[in-house]
Amino acid sequence: MTSDEAAALAPSAERVGLPAIFRVFLTLGATSFGGGVVAYLREALVERERWLDGETFLAGLELSQILPGLNATNMSVYVGERLRGAPGALVACLGMMLPGTIVVMALGILFTGGGRVMNVSTVLVGVGAAAVGLLLATTWKIGRPVIQRATDVAIIAVTVAAVAYFKLSLAVVLPTIGPVAVWLYRPRAMDRLRPPTRGHETPK
Amino acid sequence: MLVLQVLAVFSLLSVLAVGGGAAVIPEMKHLTVGVAPWIDSQQFGAIYSLGQLAPGPNMLMVSVIGFHVAGWVGALAALLGFFVPSGLITFHVGRVWDRFEANPWRASIARGLGPVTVGLILAGTWSLAHTVMVGHGPVPYGVCAIVTLILLRIKLNPVFLIIGGGLTTWIASMLGMPAC
């Protein structure tokens, strides 16, 4: 068996070097834009480097979405940890954050230091408006597969009302709505939701 | 001490950021604009917009808020505060996550928190829209609508739309359109 085949079969069997982890995440941190980090991550980690199989990637993504923090940095930590433990998590996360931090700080200093070259604020209004559009499109893409039943619409509506209308803190919203939503989808309820007509299952 | 306050505020935001960056926008605005108050609403909108021009995770702009409050140490405190706590949680949970693969509650948590996350992101989008678009005339609304429609129809690197949006309002203001 060639090393290529071995790598394809057992993606994380080979010990990956810390510089390689840093380099790959640095590239990701410098090239991914506008919340599309997940697609870049999958392309780099699963397809190009073969550090993870698709299933592990999805498990990590699910974890990143459940836990607090951004998908991009949570995935860096998760993947880095799998490859090389704590040092791996650290260099992956640093690589992911470094390019963007340098750019945003440079822009920030330029902006707060006057920015007389052109009227910065009129540019930023459009940038912000485009960012809202980007968020709307992202929400639609995330939301469409999630909304399957009236329960989902109700949970979304209650959450939006709590935050946007009643201005409740997330410190209140998360510990209340979160457990209720999970309870609504508790394992027994999930069993009942499972479609009864599945070919390979014996009918009850 | 101001730096410690920055660290504390962003650490709190870090552990509350279920659903990612957009989900925590209302809380971040409340804590940095309403409670502290370190910056005004307009600055918050401008700094968030700046962050969109940078690659990588989209909340790196917390460093600019920290810089605004307490210089370079403030920038570092904001970054550490916002990214270390959630990073540590992911690190430790990630190590045991596989062990729960067969546990039915894992699917329940993912399924239940899905719509909560969507709700939080929607509320964050609403808050951001209010901050960056209201009071600047009709052009930003047009930019927002066009960007949304384009992204729903074709696969395109959003950075072009972000820059295009910025150029649109800039040109509009040059042409003397209202209140940009």
Could A69 and B60 be called an inter-chain contact, meaning their C-beta atoms sit closer than 8 Å? no
What local confidence, expressed as pLDDT, does residue B75 receive?
96
Average pLDDT, chain A: 84
Beta-bridge partners for A68: B18
The structural domain count of chain B equals 1
What local confidence, expressed as pLDDT, does residue A15 receive?
83
What local confidence, expressed as pLDDT, does residue A42 receive?
87
Q: Is B131:B29 a contact under the CB 8 Å cutoff?
A: yes
Higher pLDDT, B75 or B176: B75
Backbone phi and psi for residue A117, each to the nearest 5 degrees, phi listed first: -55, -50
pLDDT digits (tens, 9 = 90+) for A57-83: 888 988 998 999 998 999 999 999 999
Task: Tell me the shortest Cα–Cα distance from A5 to chain B, in angstroms.
Answer: 25
The lowest-confidence range among A161-165, A178-182, B157-161 is B157-161
Backbone phi and psi for residue B45, each to the nearest 5 degrees, phi listed first: -60, -45
- Pick B169's closest partner by Cβ from A125, A134, A142: A125
Domains of chain A by residue range: 1-115
- Closest alpha carbon to A76 in A101, A48, A98: A98
What local confidence, expressed as pLDDT, does residue A2 receive?
46
Residues found in chain B? 180
Could A99 and B122 be called an inter-chain contact, meaning their C-beta atoms sit closer than 8 Å? no
Q: Sorting pLDDT into bands at 50, 70 and 90, what band is A196?
A: low
What local confidence, expressed as pLDDT, does residue A204 receive?
40
What local confidence, expressed as pLDDT, does residue A54 receive?
86
Distance, C-alpha A55 to centroid of its chain? 15
**Is residue B46 in some structural domain?**
yes
Q: Which domain holds residue B21?
A: 2-111
Place of tokens 């203001």: B173
- Pick B118's closest partner by Cβ from A31, A131, A146: A146
What's the rounded Cα separation, in Å, for the pair B39 and B43? 6
- Closest alpha carbon to A125 in B168, B114, B11, B73: B168
What local confidence, expressed as pLDDT, does residue A1 receive?
42
Backbone phi and psi for residue B39, each to the nearest 5 degrees, phi listed first: -140, 165
Instruction: Give percent of chain A above pLDDT 70.
Output: 82
Question: Mean per-residue pLDDT for A188-192?
Answer: 87
Could B53 and A133 be called an inter-chain contact, meaning their C-beta atoms sit closer than 8 Å? no
What local confidence, expressed as pLDDT, does residue A92 receive?
96
Question: Mean per-residue pLDDT for A94-110?
Answer: 93
**Is residue B122 in some structural domain?**
no
Beta-bridge partners for B78: none
| Residues in chain B within 8 Å Cβ distance of A38 | none
pLDDT at A13 over 60: no
| Residues in chain B within 8 Å Cβ distance of A85 | none
Place of tokens 């072009």: B160
What local confidence, expressed as pLDDT, does residue A37 receive?
78
Backbone phi and psi for residue A195, each to the nearest 5 degrees, phi listed first: -60, 130
pLDDT at B15 over 50: yes
| Residues in chain B within 8 Å Cβ distance of A121 | 42, 46
pLDDT at B61 over 70: yes
pLDDT at A8 over 50: no
Q: Sorting pLDDT into bands at 50, 70 and 90, what band is A14?
A: low
Distance, C-alpha B58 to centroid of its chain? 6
pLDDT at B3 over 70: yes
Question: Mean per-residue pLDDT for B134-161?
Answer: 90
What local confidence, expressed as pLDDT, does residue B178 receive?
62
Could A160 and B59 be called an inter-chain contact, meaning their C-beta atoms sit closer than 8 Å? no
Question: Mean per-residue pLDDT for B42-52?
Answer: 89
In sequence order, what DSSP letters do the residues of A144-170 get, joined into one string? HHH--SHHHHHHHHHHHIIIIIS---H
pTM: 0.87
Q: A118: phi > 0 → left, psi -120 to 50 → alpha, else beta; which?
A: beta
What's the rounded Cα separation, in Å, for the pair B147 and A131? 8
**Is residue B53 in some structural domain?**
yes
pLDDT digits (tens, 9 = 90+) for B82-133: 999 999 999 999 988 888 888 899 889 989 999 999 999 999 999 999 988 8
Q: Sorting pLDDT into bands at 50, 70 and 90, what band is A109?
A: confident
Could B86 and A73 be called an inter-chain contact, meaning their C-beta atoms sit closer than 8 Å? yes
What local confidence, expressed as pLDDT, does residue A35 receive?
59
Could B158 and A134 be called an inter-chain contact, meaning their C-beta atoms sit closer than 8 Å? yes
Task: Tell me the shortest Cα–Cα distance from A16 to chain B, in angstroms.
Answer: 18
Q: Is A185:A146 a contact under the CB 8 Å cutoff?
A: no
Question: Mean per-residue pLDDT for B70-75?
Answer: 94
ipTM: 0.90
What's the rounded Cα separation, in Å, for the pair A150 and A152? 5
Could A132 and B111 be called an inter-chain contact, meaning their C-beta atoms sit closer than 8 Å? no
Question: Mean per-residue pLDDT for B50-59?
Answer: 89
Question: Mean per-residue pLDDT for A24-41?
Answer: 84
Three-state secondary-structure class, residue B154: coil
* Exposure string for A72-83, b = 16+ CB within 10 A, e = fewer: bbbbbbbbbbbb
- Closest alpha carbon to B20 in B143, B120, B145: B120
Give B125's contacts (C-beta < 8 A, 6+ positions apart).
A132, A135, A136, A139, B22, B25
Task: Tell me the shortest Cα–Cα distance from A69 to chain B, in angstroms.
Answer: 5
Residue A106: how many CB atoms within 10 A of its CB? 12
What local confidence, expressed as pLDDT, does residue B126 receive?
94
pLDDT at A203 over 80: no
